[in-house]
Structure 1
Amino acid sequence: MDYPRPQFERTEWLNLNGEWEFDYDDQQVGDQEKWYLAHDFNKRIQVPFCFQSSLSGIGDTGFHDIVWYRTKVALPEQFAGKRSIMHFGAVDYAAWVWVNGQLVKYHEGGHTPFSVDITEQLNDGENVIIVKAQDFSRDYTLPKGKQYWLEESASIFYTRTTGIWQTVWLEPLAETYLEKVKLTPDIDAKEIKVSTFFQGSLKETLHLKTIISFAGTPVTEEIIKVNSNEMSRRIGLPDFNDHGSGRLWSPEHPNLYDVEFILLDGDNEIDRVKSYFGMRKISIEAGRVCLNNRFYYMKLVLDQGYFPEGILTPPSDDAIKQDVELTKAMGFNGARKHQKVEDPRYLYWCDRLGLLVWGEMANASDFSETYVRRITAEWQEAVERDYNHPCIVAWVPLNESWGVPNILVDKLQQQHALAMYHLTKSLDSTRLVISNDGWEHVKSDICTIHDYESNREVLTDRYSSAEKAVSAFPANRWINVPGYPYQGEPIHVSEYGGISFKKSDWEGWGYSAAQSDEDFIERYKAVTVPLLQSPVVQGFCYTQLTDVEQEINGLLTYDRKPKVALEIIKQINDGKVN
């Protein structure tokens, strides 16, 4: 099993994935009956797959909003004398964790990780870990993305995910250890800003050694005294040169620096973490999107991140890597992860192989005060988790007015969208933010438009000028909320196409329909070429990478088989076919 947090990797860890005891709590009696102390669990489940998936060994798509898990763990020798930290990649939606009958953690948020120090609750020998997860399947105000609130998938909504759906693991750590780092590249100053966060008591004898290398060759090394739980400094990269060194990160050249952090207590090493970073910059200059200070046309594909047997959870690391490789093989230089905070290993492969990512929050459908609290808290955790990945160039906290359905006229919902934009900017000033992707913008670094028009002539005319583009109503929606006029932001058609083409046993729909390979290719050209040739469009995002359940508008089938030759799609995306 590959390390689940590749941007912050330690050598010693214990994977807790595998078979756990499991049960539904449909009568909501588990707390009253103290299942965290004793219970006859009558099912078995394969963690980290949700019970709705076939890979879980259960495959039940019915409503079971409260579920319980139990596993027993005997810690190996390397945990002796160390703090034992338990990590959960994601549990949908709320989670309670008990160790040997003692409650140690509560977490809310279905897409983001959490950790807990369980050292004081552990016994010698076998230890019992209990997890209770509660979903809210029918709650329209819950940030759940594409998970449907009815039993059968329909329209643009898919099978639900409840409970543990990402890796669970343990790490043995010293009394004082490195909790997290933030790595902020500055290509103009030829520096990397390193912010370090320590957990535990600080002693006079603590020092942090930072070693940076590129392709196995040392670049720089420094040792500093640890005198605060939070520290920041800038480290110059003497080898970095924008023009000649070939060290910039981009989809075409995904160059990465490796970095090791070694925490020393005197001469003794007490913690070691491996990470990496990419020297890249995303910005808007003179109304144009720039990557590394050069104009850059983003050719994205909409990627739902669903799998036939695992739903939100990929079946393997190879499956994640394959999705990135197939995306690049079709001439796309990026992906918009739609309504899902994606597994960190997907972002790892985008970093390694070179693929831009728009990181998006899983949205709710309706607005409420509880929704605002939930999405604001979870979104902050998502941005913090993924901050160091060079592949991420844009954040999308809201999409198509999901969660803010009355934003056109409701001042409260407008202020929420503005708050999400500015909150994201306050957490990360280095990336672009699209606060409400597709339409009804109040504030956005890019003017994004969702347009499923299939007629080539209509698209050619509509995107012949910025004025025509922003005054159109392609989804019968205002591009900008009245009072928040278009101010020259770069224009991206961030959803288009959606051409259905049946190439598997799955039945379904799309926004237009192709009858043959030749018909599909012509239809793909008809919607893509006008955007490439537009004098004002600076990027696009085709819907979508794969078929998903009842949607058969993918370039690939649900099991990742190309519907037409990948090279043909690449030639069109490269502008070589008109």
Structure 2
Amino acid sequence: MKNTKTLLFLFLLSISTFAQKIPLPEHPRPDFERSNWQNLNGLWDFEFDSLNAGEKNHWQAGVTDFSHQINVPFPWGSKLSGVEDLADIAWYKKEINVPNDWQDQRTFITIGASDWETSVWLDGHFLGKHQGGYTPFSFELTEYLTYGQPQNLVIKVDDARRLFTLYGKQGYGNARGIWQTPYLEARGQNFIESLHFEPNIDKSQVTAKLILNKAASANESLKLDFTNASQSFSAVFSAGQKSAEFTIEIKNQHLWTLEDPFLYEVEANFADDELKTYFGMRKISVTNLPGTDIPYIALNNEPVYLQLALDQSYHPDGFYTFPTDEFMKNEILLAKNIGLNGIRTHIKVDIPRKLYWADKLGLFVMADLPNSWGEPDQNAQKESEYTLRQMIDRDFNHPSIFSWITFNETWGLRTKVTNEQGKSENRYLPETQYWVASMYYLAKSLDQTRLVEDNSICCGAGHTETDIYSWHQYLPGYEWEAFMRNLDTTTYAGSTYDFEKGFTQGRQPMINSECGNVWGYDGSTGDVDWSYDYHRMMNVFRQHPQMAGWLYTEHHDVINEWNGYWRFDRSPKYTGLEELANGMMDKDFHSMVYLTTGQDITQKVKAGSTYQVPMYLSCQTGEAMPGGQLVIEYKWSGADEIGNSFGSESKNLSVDYQPWMQKRLDPLAVQVPSKNGIYQLELAVKKQNGEELHHNFMSFVVEGGSMENVQLVTTSPSAYTSASWSKKEETILNGKKANGMGKGSFTYELKTSDEKIKAKTGYLLLELSSRPLYQRDQESGNLKDMDYMLGAVADPARNSNAYPMTDTDLNPSDVVIRINGQLAKRMTLSDDPADHRGVLSWFNQEENRKLQEAGTYGYLVKIPLTKAQIRSLQKTGKMEVKLETNSENGLAVYGKDFGRYAFDPGVVLVK
């Protein structure tokens, strides 16, 4: 990976973190909040217990001094916790002081999440034990409290590895011990255990389902105040009643939508207990894409084309735990700002405050049940069922969650058996498949307001009972069209494709639930430009409306996958789209109105020819357009073979429009530029009033043209006459690019046999960049040979396919250029960029599921020739060009088939 520098973004976040008296001071459950509470985050005394001798030595009494301090709620071993991971068992101790004015209520400690077995004592009195790693639990302190006086709270956590526990991807950073906020809370004598709201937008009603801690001892009143809707509701709990359902009419209902995520804020009062919560009036269902019989997931009875990101929901310094509430809010904003409408929190029950920001800002969430890595035995089944119940109970009121996913890629569902040949293998057994189906029904019994997916399938496993027909696929950009055509023919009610024996497709929406190119190449891509293959993939997806949405891997990089929209530290990656098509941004890949030219986003064509551009218009919106038409604007831009930029005037084409239309348009006939070079056909879709809806482009490598009054004397990047490099020297793809790493030089001799050189002026023309030595240049690795999800760490530039994508870290190299031994120019090449601008580097890759510096490109270098240099070339027919650097970041030389510009190193002579 490129050299790490302190980013302003991270600096400000760190200031924000340490400026707080305690980390994450906000109430951890905005959806279930009581006014009398104390946040217990911050420094706790801490001790490891590798021999599990703490109880025997009476550490629970709270009088033993511990030798460390830990910053709660960060898991031990994380940087933000302040302690290393030295053992599987550890103890926490903190002095608490419960105020006198809590005496009339009952006091509890709630721990948001702690992995895995957690025991709690107050002044040596045992309060309780909890097993599980992802959901909150509470123990009552009231009996042992001395109000207004300091007391010792002691917690023991045993996180020894157990194959049946729901470990998920903690190999990216273990959630060891307490990893969500612990807090004290005052509750009523008989308090509200849960309060769920089930909206019914079709009837303008909501059903409130309330469960008490114990049955009411006498008739007690319940009042629900809708504080931001000028509405309230009252009812009576009868003696002996513990739970009840109430249907409430909602006046002038305000729907929760992705564009207007309105939340009904509720204050609930029962007897002497009170809490604040919220819900959204929204409906999740399935409906047809208008004008078709294709089922789509619907929000408030209107189809939604899902555009989601897989969200590992990890932080490099806090692992499962984020440093600030602002960071969690920003996670949601990052996704929304590039036009995504949802995330899939991957095999982790996410932090409630992050879900709150998804609710508040309007972003869909697919919620995964974490997986075990053992076999699906009784212990694993018990753990999964318990956590599924708890996560649905905790998160029921979050309107952003539209689906539950009980399993991912059959992880933890295979059993070791001996096959017919006497060899051991892991199989997804029929009895396990029926248990998976039962988990679907369990989730549906607990929550009928959302969709449930049995198994987000991959790797030969199929679905059982499910509300969503999902699938995973990672492919190079050039394989998507064939794959999608096959899927179109195999998706229909009654099909057995992608379903296990005994189960068939119904009328489920068909979506992709993981895609990208990160695993589409042999051994993964490593850190590489995500945008070029993504462009091809989006262009294909939008031509196949039978797929009701997709989910890209991934929101941010993690320790072994680097195809995130953002890096692990959430610093940006630069795609360069705005330099290829005026006004285009990453967000244009996610436009609801999308004009695609198909999978082949780069074509090689003859100069001056007419090309028929294929066009398909995908409109995943019910919005009406003025005049019932859209305008397609197109123009040329780019650079010719002598390094001159080119641009044409815009032209317009009007097309008829209907909401939700999916239509192949007549091809667009365009005249290709007459000069050799590489050009973009820029496309923009606009309303008739000029409002821009979408940008796209198609690249053209133009050959066979001629240049008047110009002579070229060029050579191949690999045809250097001498080279000397301190670290490494190599050529890429049969000489399309030359790399010199470390300090050193390339020398080229430009020769011409043309004795009639008549030039008034001329210039040396090069495409150059720096070229550091990466780990992949010294050794390469296949990530599929690594147990990466269980803890293996890989350098992002170690993979043989990798080339680090352009970001905020630069690799400058100072270069000296000499012509015939004389100094011609000193310059600094600021970086070795790799992104969508390296069109030629992508276009000329071999289609063999391997990558060789895909997306890399250099900077345009033009150095005017002196008259003496021109005369020397005329006289001798040759010119020596030496490129040298004393920088450790090296030098790369690009040719006409690699990089950003379609020319070889050489001189341009102008008559």
TM-score (structure 2 length as normaliser): 0.57
Matched, 1:423 2:442: yes
- Displacement of 1:498 in angstroms is 4.7
Alignment of 1:155-170 (within 5 A): 158-170=172-184
Residues 492-514 of structure 1, C-alpha deviation per residue, up to 9 Å, x if partnerless?
A: 111011549xxxxxxxx984367
Matched, 1:35 2:46: no
**Greater relative contact order, per chain length (Cα 8 Å cut-off, separation 6+):** 1
Instruction: Pick which of 460-469 and 326-335 moved more.
Output: 460-469
Counterpart selection for 1:571 from 588, 594, 597? 588
Residue 250 of structure 2 corresponds to 237
Counterpart selection for 1:541 from 541, 551, 557? 551
Q: 1:333 to 1:128 in 2, by over 3 A?
A: same
Residue 320 of structure 2 corresponds to 312
Higher strand share: 2
Residue 486 of structure 1 corresponds to 505
Contact 2:490 2:497 in 1 (8 A): no
Matched, 1:553 2:539: no
Alignment of 1:218-257 (within 5 A): 218=230, 220-227=231-238, 228-240=241-253, 247-257=254-264
- Displacement of 1:467 in angstroms is 5.0
Partner SS, residue 503 of structure 2 = coil
Contact 1:463 1:535 in 2 (8 A): no
Counterpart selection for 1:462 from 475, 483, 490? 483
Counterpart selection for 1:399 from 389, 394, 408? 408
Alignment of 1:342-361 (within 5 A): 342-361=350-369
Matched, 1:379 2:400: no
> Partners in 1 of 2:232 and 2:104 — Cα distance?
30
Contact 1:92 1:164 in 2 (8 A): yes
- Displacement of 1:262 in angstroms is 2.1
Q: 1:510 to 1:183 in 2, by over 3 A?
A: farther
Q: 1:510 to 1:335 in 2, by over 3 A?
A: farther
Residue 453 of structure 2 corresponds to 434
Which sections of structure 1, spanning at least 5 residues, go unmatched?
149-157, 241-246, 265-269, 472-476, 501-508
> Partners in 2 of 1:106 and 1:217 — Cα distance?
41
Residue 258 of structure 1 corresponds to 265
- Residue type of the alignment partner of 1:272: E
> Partners in 1 of 2:100 and 2:452 — Cα distance?
46
Matched, 1:448 2:455: no
> Partners in 2 of 1:453 and 1:304 — Cα distance?
20
TM-score (structure 1 length as normaliser): 0.88
Alignment of 1:279-290 (within 5 A): 279-286=281-288, 287-290=295-298
Partner SS, residue 550 of structure 2 = strand
- Residue type of the alignment partner of 1:31: E
> Partners in 1 of 2:160 and 2:433 — Cα distance?
26
Contact 1:177 1:198 in 2 (8 A): yes
> Partners in 1 of 2:506 and 2:219 — Cα distance?
55
Which sections of structure 2, spanning at least 5 residues, go unmatched?
1-24, 289-294, 416-425, 578-583, 595-693, 698-911
- Residue type of the alignment partner of 1:235: I
Contact 2:41 2:73 in 1 (8 A): yes
- Matched residue pairs, number? 535
Contact 1:358 1:392 in 2 (8 A): yes
> Partners in 2 of 1:13 and 1:549 — Cα distance?
37
- Residue type of the alignment partner of 1:386: D
> Partners in 1 of 2:132 and 2:179 — Cα distance?
12
Contact 1:498 1:542 in 2 (8 A): no
Residue 178 of structure 1 corresponds to 192
Partner SS, residue 537 of structure 1 = coil
> Partners in 1 of 2:552 and 2:490 — Cα distance?
18
Contact 1:95 1:106 in 2 (8 A): yes
Contact 1:95 1:132 in 2 (8 A): yes
Residues 7-35 of structure 1, C-alpha deviation per residue, up to 9 Å, x if partnerless?
A: 01222211111111111111111222222
Matched, 1:78 2:101: yes
> Partners in 1 of 2:498 and 2:196 — Cα distance?
35
> Partners in 2 of 1:194 and 1:338 — Cα distance?
30
Partner SS, residue 339 of structure 1 = coil
Partner SS, residue 526 of structure 1 = helix
Residues 357-384 of structure 1, C-alpha deviation per residue, up to 9 Å, x if partnerless?
A: 0011110122222111111111111111
Partner SS, residue 40 of structure 1 = coil
Q: 1:120 to 1:541 in 2, by over 3 A?
A: same
> Partners in 2 of 1:478 and 1:26 — Cα distance?
50
Partner SS, residue 326 of structure 2 = helix
Counting aligned pairs with the same residue, the percent is 33
Contact 2:477 2:534 in 1 (8 A): no
Contact 2:261 2:360 in 1 (8 A): yes
Q: 1:202 to 1:520 in 2, by over 3 A?
A: closer
Partner SS, residue 414 of structure 2 = coil
> Partners in 2 of 1:556 and 1:520 — Cα distance?
10
- Displacement of 1:141 in angstroms is 2.6
Counterpart selection for 2:32 from 2, 5, 8? 8
Q: 1:73 to 1:233 in 2, by over 3 A?
A: same
Contact 2:414 2:428 in 1 (8 A): no
> Partners in 2 of 1:467 and 1:499 — Cα distance?
24
- The structure with the largest alpha-carbon Rg is 2
